[in-house]
């Protein structure tokens, strides 16, 4: 009968005006915290819906009312973490004289973050890549966050070309993330390939 049976609008990714009552915002936070904790401990397969519900102290049905699938749950968690990371990036100026240097800086930072919590990285990467069309909004939000991250590393006001380059870098980054997660590439391989990619893309550009 009801048009929507979700306690929050589908956008649900921007930090802005969180909808719902305080209790609902709290439940939502508990759910995402539980998700991250479980993912961090045991990766994608450890994020079991029953376990998340129990850890967040909500019923299984409630969990599904907040997040329609495990994929939505994990991708939303990824978006939250990325937003936090991006805020931290915004506050501190990225060191480096050239776009090339600054992009490498940022890449180094995210690569270290990835290594710091392999299970979490695995869970989120696989959820992101496995998502189907029903999670397109969430996935897209994450994609834009990544593009933005690299674009801002180049210039405060990225041009069209900056955005195009940032997107390519994000694509390569994702691909390498997947390779690292499946153990087809070491962290060193990833670092090398990223550096090579950035060199190919930014070889002559050196504006500040």
Q: Which positions from 20 to 39 touch DNA by CB under 7 A, shown as an x/- string?
A: -x-xx--x------------
Query: What would the two tokens of residue 155 be?
Result: 């210039």
- Among the listed residues 113, 130, 84, the one whose alpha carbon sits nearest the alpha carbon of residue 187: 113
- Residue closer to DNA by CB (options 64, 85) is 64
201 binds, among DNA, a second copy, none (CB under 5 to 8 A by kind): a second copy
Q: Which of 13, 70, 119, 122 forms a contact with DNA (CB under 7 A)?
A: 70
State yes or no: residue 17 binds DNA (CB under 7 A).
no
Tell the residue number behind the tokens 């819906």, with chain if given. 49
Return the number of other C-beta atoms located less than 10 Å from residue 121's C-beta: 21
CA atoms of 169 and 104, how far apart (whole Å): 10
196 binds, among a second copy, DNA, none (CB under 5 to 8 A by kind): a second copy
Please list every residue from 8 through 67 that binds a second copy, using CB under 8 A.
44
Q: What dihedral do alpha carbons 25, 27, 31, 36 form, nearest 10°?
A: 50
CA atoms of 145 and 116, how far apart (whole Å): 20
- Residues that bind a second copy (rule: CB under 8 A) add up to a total of 34
Q: Which of 33, 37, 55, 69 forms a contact with DNA (CB under 7 A)?
A: 69
- Residue closer to a second copy by CB (options 32, 135) is 135
């Amino acid at each position: 009968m009801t048009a929507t049976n979700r306690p929050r609008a589908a956008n649900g990714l921007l930090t802005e005006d969180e909808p719902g009552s305080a209790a609902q915002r709290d439940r939502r936070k508990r759910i995402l915290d539980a998700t991250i904790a479980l993912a961090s401990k045991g990766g994608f397969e450890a994020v079991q819906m029953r376990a998340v519900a129990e850890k967040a102290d909500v019923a299984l049905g409630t969990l599904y009312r907040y997040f329609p699938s495990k994929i939505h749950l994990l991708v939303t968690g990824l978006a939250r973490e990325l937003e936090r990371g991006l805020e931290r990036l915004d506050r501190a100026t990225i060191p480096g004289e050239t776009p090339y240097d600054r992009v490498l800086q940022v890449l180094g930072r995210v690569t270290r973050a990835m290594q710091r919590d392999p299970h979490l990285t695995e869970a989120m990467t696989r959820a992101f890549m496995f998502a189907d069309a029903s999670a397109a909004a969430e996935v897209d939000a994450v994609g834009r966050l990544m593009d933005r991250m690299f674009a801002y590393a180049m210039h405060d006001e990225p041009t069209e070309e900056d955005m195009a380059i940032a997107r390519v870098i994000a694509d390569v980054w994702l691909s390498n993330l997947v390779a690292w997660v499946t153990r087809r590439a070491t962290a060193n391989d990833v670092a090398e390939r990223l550096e090579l990619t950035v060199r190919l893309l930014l070889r002559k550009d050196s504006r500040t």
